[in-house]
Amino acid sequence: MRLIEIVVVLFAVARVTRLVTADEITRRPREAIVKRLPEGSPYAYLLLCRWCLSVWVAAPVATAWWHMSDLSRWSGYWWVDVPTVALALSYATGLLVRAEPGE
């Protein structure tokens, strides 16, 4: 993978994750959804936890990367490469979250 491709894919995952879980522009819909869910709902937790949601954001991004990128894959099997890339993107997103002020 070229470095620019890695950076763009990582930042896309990080940005979408932050948009859903923490940005002001999505606060009202996020709060409305959380209000409708039962107390202690794992779905409510998912909407507020960037570490958690980043796994679910990274999965389709990793799948799209695997299908659209012309770069060679290390294993050549989607069932190895896609989950591995998704987990790596999720973890890197979590590290980026820690680097944000106030996090």
> Please, what is the end-to-end C-alpha distance for the chain in angstroms?
30
> What pLDDT, on the 0 to 100 scale, is given for residue 5?
86
Q: What is the pLDDT of residue 70?
A: 75
Instruction: Give the integer Cα–Cα distance in Å for 61 and 35.
Output: 29
Checking phi first, is residue 40 left (phi over 0); if not, alpha (psi -120 to 50) or beta? left
pLDDT, mean of residues 18-43: 96
Q: Which residues contact 59 (CB under 8 A, 6 or more apart)?
A: 82, 83, 86
Tell me, what's the pLDDT at 45? Answer: 96
pTM: 0.87
Please report the pLDDT score of residue 98 as a whole number. Answer: 87
At 61-85, the pLDDT tens digits run: 999 988 888 777 778 888 999 999 9
